[in-house]
Structure 1
Amino acid sequence: MKIDVIKLDAGKAGSVDLDDAIFGIGEIRADLLQRAVKWQLSRRQAGTHKAKERGEISRTGKKMTRQKGTGGARHGDRRAPIFVGGGKAHGPRVRSHATDLPKKVRALALKHALSSKAGGSSLIVLDEARLDAPRTKDLIEAFGKLGLTNALIIDGETLDENFARAARNIPNVDVLPAQGLNVYDVLRRDTLVLTKAAVEKINERLQPRENA
């Protein structure tokens, strides 16, 4: 698959070949994308929520009233969940929400996410993502020429500091290095912008071992 390469000023800078095995998958599998997104979001959950249960409440265990003759229920102690200040019945506990997903499945899901952007004409390849000065105003003007309002921008191994600082103040725009590319961020933005350096890194990362 061949795609035009453009500059920040919307000028043309040649073209680049995209691997069909990575960017040209025809039938996008929504189940793979859902599994990858669920795997990512579950790993982000802190799992630090906690409520004291009956055995953790600091109250006396002495029987409140005599067993019979009071005309009321026969309660044992004030730590029961039915009382104000009592323990929580089956409350949340500190735990990990992370799930398992095979590495090959994660790689395949990323290929499908990239192919969905390429197939939907939502993929742009930039010559480079660099600015002479970290001015947000200049970057907004450049994005206006490119028609970008909601985008994920992936650069090479490292980010240009001026570009990253300028993009930091623009809403609905994320900038990541190539190693930070992930399914969730690709899908949550309308347009995927890759630099030529990012395309090379993606090919290295997702290329089959036998062809590497």
Structure 2
Amino acid sequence: MKLDVTTIEGGKAGSIELDEAIFGLEPRADLIHRCVRWQLAKRQAGTHKSLGRSEVSRTTKKMYRQKGTGNARHGAASAPQFRGGGKAFGPVVRDHAHDLPKKVRALALKHALSAKAKANAIVVLDKAAVAEPRTKALKERFGKLGLASALVIDGAELDANFGLAARNIPNVDVLPVQGINVYDILRRDTLVLTKAAVDALEARFK
């Protein structure tokens, strides 16, 4: 698969051949879905908590005598059916993460990249670097390139000025190549790869 390489100013900088084994697969929604669920479950805090009947601060005195009142037998005001009592089967602090094999995660990333390639939603830049960290100037350049919602993947090291200029632009994310993931690829309309990122991805999957 051959794509044109553009500069950040919108000019042409040759072309690049993308590896069909990474960018030319037939996307499988089930693999991508499994990986997105794994990512979102892994980052969920799980700090939700409610008090059970053994944790609420209520008196332990018997509410009323056992027999003769015509009411049900009760021995604690902390029971769930009473106002101010503990919650029955409430949420507890727990880890929501589940396992996903490493090979499945790698394959899902390939399929996410292939899905963007199939949708013609990949832009290749020669490099993601600017002289000054000016958000307004970078936003105008993105406008010329037609990038309203984009994930920019650079090489192992991000250009500091580019990162500063891009961080205040809505719907634009910038990540080093080691941070590329399925969820961030899917949540933006366009995937922007630098030549360094393409080389790193191809080296990673070989």
Q: TM-score range by the shorter chain?
A: over 0.9
Counterpart residue number, 1:196:
195
In the alignment, structure 1 residue 21 sits paired with structure 2 residue 21: yes
Counterpart residue number, 1:11:
11
Query: Structure 1 CA distance, aligned partners of 2:195 and 2:165?
Result: 20
1:79-98 deviations in whole A, cap 9, x for unaligned? 10111111110011111000
Greater shift, 173-182 or 63-72, is seen at 63-72
How far the C-alpha of 1:58 sits from its partner, in A, is 2.2
1:86-132 deviations in whole A, cap 9, x for unaligned? 11100111110001100000000000000011111000000000010
Aligned letter for 2:5? V
Query: Structure 2 CA distance, aligned partners of 1:81 and 1:72?
Result: 17
Q: Which runs of 5+ in 2 are unaligned?
A: none
Query: Structure 2 CA distance, aligned partners of 1:63 and 1:32?
Result: 57
- Map 1:114-193 → 2, pairs under 5 A: 114-193=113-192
In the alignment, structure 1 residue 64 sits paired with structure 2 residue 58: no
Query: Structure 1 CA distance, aligned partners of 2:125 and 2:97?
Result: 35
How far the C-alpha of 1:70 sits from its partner, in A, is 1.7
Pairwise CA RMSD? 0.9
Aligned letter for 2:34? R
SS at match of 1:112: helix
1:24-82 deviations in whole A, cap 9, x for unaligned? 11x21000000000000000101111111011122222211001222322211101011
Query: Structure 2 CA distance, aligned partners of 1:136 and 1:57?
Result: 52
Counterpart residue number, 2:2:
2
Counterpart residue number, 1:210:
none
Query: Structure 2 CA distance, aligned partners of 1:85 and 1:59?
Result: 8
Query: Structure 1 CA distance, aligned partners of 2:136 and 2:45?
Result: 36
Aligned letter for 1:201? A
The two structures have a TM-score, normalised by structure 2, of 0.98
Aligned letter for 1:29? R
The two structures have a TM-score, normalised by structure 1, of 0.95
Counterpart residue number, 1:45:
44
Aligned letter for 2:147? L
1:106-159 deviations in whole A, cap 9, x for unaligned? 000000000011111000000000010000111011111101000000000011
Query: Structure 1 CA distance, aligned partners of 2:165 and 2:80?
Result: 53
SS at match of 1:132: coil
1:177-209 deviations in whole A, cap 9, x for unaligned? 0001000000110000000011111112222xx
How many aligned positions are there?
206
Query: Structure 2 CA distance, aligned partners of 1:186 and 1:179?
Result: 13
Query: Structure 1 CA distance, aligned partners of 2:157 and 2:69?
Result: 75
